[in-house]
Amino acid sequence: MVPVLDKITTYRNQKGWTEYQLATKSGLTQSTISSWYRKDLVPSIPSLEKICSAFGITLSQFFSENEEPYVLTKTQRSLLEASAALSEEQQRALIEFIKTL
């Protein structure tokens, strides 16, 4: 299992963000984030939820060990949220439509 702070660093580096940028985008303070690293602390679940939200992922995705970290764009997230509201039949129709594009 990859340590939590290492995973945060991986996601942050993928985005090209500094700790300050992560703090700004997550609504946490930079001092909070930097103290995790200085003191080798594991963030609380509410803090991790804010971090994951900033990265555009779920806690489940964050803790997944079977896949490389995957970050959704805002457009991808919007498409997933919109398609989740469709019936199963509508989702199949949407997939077929997208395949024809």
Residue spans of the domains in the chain: they are: 1-68, 71-101
CATH superfamily, with its number, for domain 1-68:
lambda repressor-like DNA-binding domains (1.10.260.40)
Alpha-carbon distance of 28 to 50, in angstroms, equals 8
Residue 16 gets the label, from left (phi > 0), alpha (psi -120 to 50) or beta, of left
Task: Note the pLDDT tens digit of each residue in 20-65.
Answer: 999 999 999 999 999 999 998 999 999 999 999 999 888 888 888 7
Taking only Cα atoms into account, the Rg of the chain, rounded to an integer number of angstroms, comes to: 17
For residues 90-95, give the mean pLDDT: 89
pLDDT value, residue 29 = 95
Lowest mean pLDDT among 10-19, 29-38, 73-82: 73-82
Between 2 and 81, name the one with better pLDDT. 81
pLDDT value, residue 74 = 84
Task: Note the pLDDT tens digit of each residue in 2-14.
Answer: 589 999 999 999 9
